[in-house]
Structure 1
Amino acid sequence: MDQFLAFTVVGLTTAAIYAVIGSGLVLTHTTAGVFNFAHGAAGMFAAFAYWQLAVGWGWPVPLALAAVLLVLAPAFGLLVERVLMRPVQALGEAERLVMTVALLTGCIALARWIWDPNTPRPLSPFLDDRPAIDLGPAAVTWHQAITMAAALAIAAALWFLLHRTRAGTEMRASVDDRALAGLTGADPLRAGRLAWVLGIQLAAVGGILIAPTVALDAQQLSLLIVSAYTAAVFGRLRSLPLTFLGAVVVGLMEAYLAGYLPQNDYLPGLRLAAPALLLLLALLAFPHRRLRGRDRKLAHVPLPKARGSLVFAGCVVLFAVVLVTVLSEDKVISYGTVFSLGIVALSYVPLAGYAGQISLCQLSIAGIGAVVWGHLGADGELWALPVAVLVAAAVGALIALPALRLSGIYLALGTTAFAVILDRWIFTLPAFDVFGLRITLFDQGSVSVTGPDLFGRHLTSPGQLLMLAAVLLALTSLGVAALRRGRFGRRLIALRDSEAAYATLGGRLLGARVAVFALSAGIAGLGGALYGMQQQTVTAEQFNMIAGLPIFLIAVIGGLGAVGTGVFTGIAFVVPTQLFDELGSWAHDLSALLIALAGMGLAHNPSGVLTGMREEWTPLARDRVLMPVLAGVLGLAWALVATGALPGWPALIGALAVAVTLRARAAVRARPKPAGDVPVEWWGIRRPWRPEDREVLDRATATG
């Protein structure tokens, strides 16, 4: 009994922290309409700042707390609301989600950049020098008592704010109808600012309270938010009392699992993944609106032509040939993952770009493809590659079945929970048997991966594997482009535009979702298998959720509807990472930080950069004089570098300068001729029709 009470005290303490953090999530979502994926990262940053002030610089604890909670946290909340979230407020739920994912990635990268993750930073509990409070069969430390008291005080203060103050009334009114609230004299912008400030402050309180009980690690602290996600979903993202109840359920569950879960090799990961499992169950069990339209401006999905798709695929293969011939073997190993990770990024195009289904677990599914190939293709058996794709596709279909009830932020939360379950439990399992079939994943370590046997040759060299990945990326891109031009692609876009209208017109939601999730997962599994071949050894950490967020962000930056997003993401992710790694350990997380900053610029170009780039370079591609000149310059630069006559960087810079110059010249040549050079009978055909043209024609054709 004493042990049970001790675990109960620990569980209630943890529950109090989750309640504080979860209430901040609910407050921000109900007032500003934003589910903040970076909420845990804000608490993580507050914990690091508190450590820096109280331990690193020796400030008194009360002064350090006041600086973090009353100065830094409100300033951060105002910065997020004004600079990041307000510009995307009118874009819709998906764009706001991407912005918070970018903020999460940026916060983790910035924290790792400032505070070396290899240096331990212990943080002492509050009043740890005082004896615990004796309650008979159980004892409560002062830190636990302060935590529970803070949670109760925050609950009372939030109730008073929302129901007994004008500011709280404005916040609740802004939730229902911002425009109508403005007509009654309320200020929705002020209510939003207040919500963000309070939300970040609550995250900071939770981060500081939980930091002494866990390792002060940027990724671990940020992912503790999964438990707060569960509490917020218990509250249906709008009820604070139910959020506190959900926090109690999660906290007690974690404590009892830690105390009573049997000790064996299969269950430790279950305790770590339990909040994510509970989150997934809560999403499936609680009612949500089954069908609903999108509250966003629908972006145009480019329609690739067959000829253009073939040219693009040829350019991908040609680019791979250039890399193999100009890079040394160690550089080919470093940069060869451009194409395999590009395939993983391409999996977002049919799923998110065409069908509008948000998934944050694509890299985790790629890990399944890598594991299946690593075990079944250990001797290079080519048949194991399609098996890896099919297994990944089956996992994608499995995700789609419960996801039928979810959309928008609920679907993003569901796929996040699935990724965390894979990271913390499934990928950590040792080998086990299912119906007599031996299943082996990472087996609590790493998996050795080799290349396939193709046409009687065993592909093992980095150059051969790079070319294989490039050819498969080109073929997969052709398939995705053909999908867009086909009937199923049009159906997916209709599904994205309005699920309700799609179902009303006779579309089968279950079949469409299962098919697109399976297709996307199969593509990701193919990319994961190729990535494993190039790495030769893979671990579960390479496929966790946090590692996949930068790939998702770059795909969004490129444009989820563009087929070229795959190769764009591979280049934008791999090349800067390798370049910054060469600068030293201090720049290790700089590329992730820059990716996050680029993702935060989504408001300026929500459709992606590839559409604009295509429009800018199309005149040069169609110019029959300048395009051959550019091809000749690029071919000459390639030959000079391949033969060693010219270093790589000067040739690259020179080729880019020539390309930009020719592009500008082609744009000038493609401009329409002045009006005087176009005969009157061609007005409206060879040049745009103008309002004043009618008067000119009337005068020219007027009779006496």
Structure 2
Amino acid sequence: MNTFVTFTILGLVLGSVYAIAASGLVLTYNTSGIFNFAHGAQAMLGAFLYWQLTAGWGLPVPLALLVVLFLAGPLMGLALYVVIMRGLRDTAEVTKIVVTVSIMLGMLFLSQWFWHPEKPRSLGMFFGDDTGIRVLGAFVRVHEILCVLAAVGIAVGLRMLFQRTRTGATMRGVVDDPDLLRLNGHNPERIAAFSWALGSTLAVLAGVLITPISGGSLEANMLTLLVIDAFAAAMFGRLSSIPRTFVGALVLGLAGAYLIGYAPSSWAWTSNLRVSLPMVALFVVLIVLPQDRLRGAAMRTRERYHVPSVRKAVVWAVALVAIVYLIRLLMVESAITTFTLGMTFAIVALSLTLLTGYAGEMNLAPLSFGAIATIVVFHFGITGTGLDQRLTVWGVLLAVAVTALVGGLVALPALRLRGLYLALATMAFGVFVSNMVLRDTTEHELFGVKFSIFSGGSLVIPPLRIGPLDLQDETTFLMTATVLFALLGVGVVALRNRGYGRRLAAMKDSPAASAMLGQNLITLKLSVFMLSAAIAGLGGVLMSSATGAVAGENFNIIVSLTLLMLTVVAGIGYVSGALFGGVMAGVGFAVIMVSFNNLAKTQPELEGLYLLLGNIAAVSPALIGIGVGHNPSGSVHQMVEGYRRLLSARPVLYGGGAVIALLYVLALTGVLGNWWFAALTITIVFLLPVVGEWLMPGAVLGADEVERRRTTPPELVGLDEPYTAEGRYRLDRELGLPAARPTPAAPEPSASVAKELSAHV
């Protein structure tokens, strides 16, 4: 009886904290339509700030709580909404998800900047661990009682706010009909900002309360993912009902506690299942909940992508292979493997271009499919012993086939899901793989055969050998990965230009219209999920082989989210976006940070500056991801449009190419350092369209655009300049009205000419 009461109290306490965090999620989603994936990171930052105030600076606990809950928490939410969230209107679901994911990653890196992860930190319970009361023989601490009371009070308060007050009605109306709210004298922006401030406060409160219960140790990644468990409770209430959210949170907490208390001791995987239970519940809840009807009309978003022809894709594929080979000639041997790793990440990112960029389906855990392929190839695709071990082509093909099958199995129950629900389902799958599969290092026996899934916590993956082609050579591996990416990229573009790709685009734009025209959406979704999973599996195997030995951390959900974020930033609708996102996620920012750290060691007098620049480089991917709301089509789209206009100014284009060729020759001969060559080349590539507009504006922009930029904007005619016939003409032209350009007035005759004319008269 005592055991039952103890674990029941533990479950109620955990469930109460989940309910507090989930209530903040429901609140922000109901007033902005944005699901905040950074909710757990906000809780983490709040917990670290509370530790800094109490343990670091010695402030009294009540004063620290006032600062964290009534100052830092609201300001954090208010800043997020005003600076970022309100700019996400008219963007696709993937853009909204990526922006909040970027905020989460930025907060993680920011916490590691200010609070070094290797230094231990812990939080104690309010009033101490020994202060409490006895309930049915079980000891209940005051901190745990406060958690339950706070959760009940917040649930009741939010329920009354939404259902019984005018403010709650206006908060619900912010998403439903903001224009109607304005007509009734309300400010939707102010209401949404207030909701985000309150939701952030609830996240911070959850972070402060749950840390002592979970062990007291402060670790950024663990605490962020711990609060993410509240996603399941929020979805139990379908992001709208506070009472159902509260009940779902309690069920989650009790189920986890009872699993720890009553699972058989022979279950070696009980601890892993306990950690994975919220994600399992999230997946089940998403499948069981009724879904919205198919979207009928195409949503007008700001994303725009141009799909190249197959011929252009082949030309660019050949150019990519040639460019990578030329870059290889400049590299030292140690850098080749690093570059290879980036190319394998690009292959994984290519699966997102097909699935999300072309078909509009979400996958937040692409590297989880790479992990599954790695496990398969480790057990069934290695031949030889010792240093002669090699991957076999049949083992790789088997791993790709199994991954495609797993992708189909994951997609099968999720075929009803769309948008945010599908994103959460794939995230639940990714966290489940990380917690259950990649942590399973124990030995099992099945039909008399002993095996372990992730032997010893790491897997050694040798290079591939196909006949005379042995990828043990670094250059051979790099060029093989590049050729594979180029071939897959051409294949993806060819697929998009065929009937199958047009059906994917139609399903992305309007699922209801596609179904009405006879398209089988189930078959279409299942096939594209399987193709995407197969590509991710191949990239995962090559990534593991390039690394040599991989652990579970190589495939965790944070790495997958970073890859997705950078691919969207580059342009998820472009193969080149996958290339940029993969290379930057795999090696780009890591190389930059390592370079700054090395500079700090070699130049102690500038150590502070280099460490600062290294920390900025660590946070910069998240800052770039946050900015995707202002450029939702991605940086590749912006560059494509810039160079498309630059084709009319070929002297500038040829001049830029000549300068890059000269820099390459100087780097190849050792006159110019490799880092200077890379920095100057990247600068030229990005600035060349701007230089073209500056040097040849008429050719790049066109006469009309040049004239428009030189003249007063139409809306300022009559304000910054007086009304004239020319001004009226420009206004009529902008409004689409019939307009005739006014004829210039004849010049006034000079005095002598006027005198002569009068004499003749």
Identity %: 38
Could you tell me which residue of structure 1 aligns to residue 574 of structure 2? 562
Return closer, same or farther for 1:588/1:383 CA change in 2, 3 Å cut-off: farther
Return closer, same or farther for 1:630/1:28 CA change in 2, 3 Å cut-off: closer
Residue 318 of structure 1: how far off its partner (Å): 1.8
- The answer to whether the 8 A contact 2:233-2:245 is kept is yes
Residue 390 of structure 1: how far off its partner (Å): 1.5
**How far, CA to CA, are the matches of 1:225 and 1:296 in structure 2?**
34
**How far, CA to CA, are the matches of 2:476 and 2:617 in structure 1?**
28
Residue 113 of structure 1: how far off its partner (Å): 1.6
Could you tell me which residue of structure 2 aligns to residue 7 of structure 1? 7
206-215 or 274-283, which moves further after superposition?
A: 206-215
Could you tell me which residue of structure 2 aligns to residue 410 of structure 1? 421
Could you tell me which residue of structure 2 aligns to residue 550 of structure 1? 562
1:485 aligned onto 2:497: yes
3-state DSSP of counterpart to 1:564: helix
- The answer to whether the 8 A contact 2:646-2:700 is kept is no
Post-superposition Cα deviations, 1:478-527, rounded to whole Å, max 9, x if no partner, equal 11111111111110000000111111111111111011111111111111
1:601 aligned onto 2:627: yes
**How far, CA to CA, are the matches of 1:433 and 1:269 in structure 2?**
18
- The answer to whether the 8 A contact 1:336-1:534 is kept is yes
Could you tell me which residue of structure 2 aligns to residue 686 of structure 1? none
661-670 or 568-577, which moves further after superposition?
A: 661-670
**How far, CA to CA, are the matches of 2:511 and 2:61 in structure 1?**
53
Return closer, same or farther for 1:622/1:21 CA change in 2, 3 Å cut-off: same
Matches within 5 A, 1:23-38: 23-38=23-38
Matches within 5 A, 1:189-588: 189-214=189-214, 215-263=217-265, 264-293=267-296, 295-297=299-301, 299-378=303-382, 379-430=390-441, 432=444, 441-573=453-585, 574-584=587-597
3-state DSSP of counterpart to 2:393: coil
Return closer, same or farther for 1:624/1:44 CA change in 2, 3 Å cut-off: closer
Return closer, same or farther for 1:493/1:198 CA change in 2, 3 Å cut-off: same
Q: Which runs of 5+ in 1 are unaligned?
A: 676-688, 697-704
**How far, CA to CA, are the matches of 1:166 and 1:504 in structure 2?**
42
Return closer, same or farther for 1:120/1:482 CA change in 2, 3 Å cut-off: same
360-369 or 412-421, which moves further after superposition?
A: 360-369
Could you tell me which residue of structure 2 aligns to residue 151 of structure 1? 151
Name the amino acid aligned to 1:646.
L
Name the amino acid aligned to 1:581.
V
Post-superposition Cα deviations, 1:228-262, rounded to whole Å, max 9, x if no partner, equal 11111111110000001001100001101111222
Residue 403 of structure 1: how far off its partner (Å): 1.4
155-164 or 57-66, which moves further after superposition?
A: 155-164
**How far, CA to CA, are the matches of 1:436 and 1:621 in structure 2?**
68
3-state DSSP of counterpart to 1:538: strand
3-state DSSP of counterpart to 2:459: strand
Return closer, same or farther for 1:235/1:690 CA change in 2, 3 Å cut-off: closer
3-state DSSP of counterpart to 2:550: strand
Name the amino acid aligned to 1:504.
M
209-218 or 87-96, which moves further after superposition?
A: 87-96
Residue 198 of structure 1: how far off its partner (Å): 1.1
- The answer to whether the 8 A contact 2:343-2:482 is kept is yes
Residue 3 of structure 1: how far off its partner (Å): 0.2
**How far, CA to CA, are the matches of 1:341 and 1:14 in structure 2?**
37
Return closer, same or farther for 1:36/1:694 CA change in 2, 3 Å cut-off: same
Return closer, same or farther for 1:434/1:567 CA change in 2, 3 Å cut-off: farther
Within the candidate set 633, 636, 649, 1:610 is matched to 636
Name the amino acid aligned to 2:234.
A
Return closer, same or farther for 1:69/1:473 CA change in 2, 3 Å cut-off: same
- The answer to whether the 8 A contact 2:354-2:492 is kept is yes
3-state DSSP of counterpart to 1:172: helix
Return closer, same or farther for 1:515/1:433 CA change in 2, 3 Å cut-off: farther
Larger radius of gyration: 2
Return closer, same or farther for 1:104/1:512 CA change in 2, 3 Å cut-off: same
Name the amino acid aligned to 1:254.
G
**How far, CA to CA, are the matches of 2:688 and 2:250 in structure 1?**
65
Name the amino acid aligned to 1:582.
S
3-state DSSP of counterpart to 1:139: strand
125-134 or 250-259, which moves further after superposition?
A: 125-134
**How far, CA to CA, are the matches of 1:498 and 1:388 in structure 2?**
34
190-199 or 271-280, which moves further after superposition?
A: 190-199
Name the amino acid aligned to 2:225.
L
Could you tell me which residue of structure 1 aligns to residue 125 of structure 2? 125
317-326 or 359-368, which moves further after superposition?
A: 317-326
**How far, CA to CA, are the matches of 1:34 and 1:662 in structure 2?**
37
**How far, CA to CA, are the matches of 2:647 and 2:517 in structure 1?**
41
**How far, CA to CA, are the matches of 2:687 and 2:245 in structure 1?**
59
- The answer to whether the 8 A contact 1:357-1:407 is kept is yes
Return closer, same or farther for 1:422/1:588 CA change in 2, 3 Å cut-off: farther
Matches within 5 A, 1:591-670: 591-618=617-644, 631=657, 633-655=659-681, 668=696, 670=699
Number of aligned pairs?
Answer: 683
**How far, CA to CA, are the matches of 1:507 and 1:459 in structure 2?**
43
54-63 or 155-164, which moves further after superposition?
A: 155-164
Name the amino acid aligned to 2:407.
G
3-state DSSP of counterpart to 2:116: coil
3-state DSSP of counterpart to 2:131: coil
Post-superposition Cα deviations, 1:586-606, rounded to whole Å, max 9, x if no partner, equal 576644421111111122111
**How far, CA to CA, are the matches of 1:605 and 1:141 in structure 2?**
50
Name the amino acid aligned to 2:113.
W
Give me the TM-score of the superposition, normalised by structure 2.
0.85
**How far, CA to CA, are the matches of 1:674 and 1:192 in structure 2?**
44
Could you tell me which residue of structure 2 aligns to residue 680 of structure 1? none
Query: CA RMSD for the aligned pairs?
Result: 2.6
375-384 or 60-69, which moves further after superposition?
A: 375-384
Post-superposition Cα deviations, 1:48-77, rounded to whole Å, max 9, x if no partner, equal 110000111110000000000000001011
Name the amino acid aligned to 2:591.
Q
489-498 or 445-454, which moves further after superposition?
A: 445-454
**How far, CA to CA, are the matches of 1:413 and 1:673 in structure 2?**
46
Return closer, same or farther for 1:296/1:395 CA change in 2, 3 Å cut-off: farther
- The answer to whether the 8 A contact 2:5-2:136 is kept is no
Name the amino acid aligned to 1:204.
V
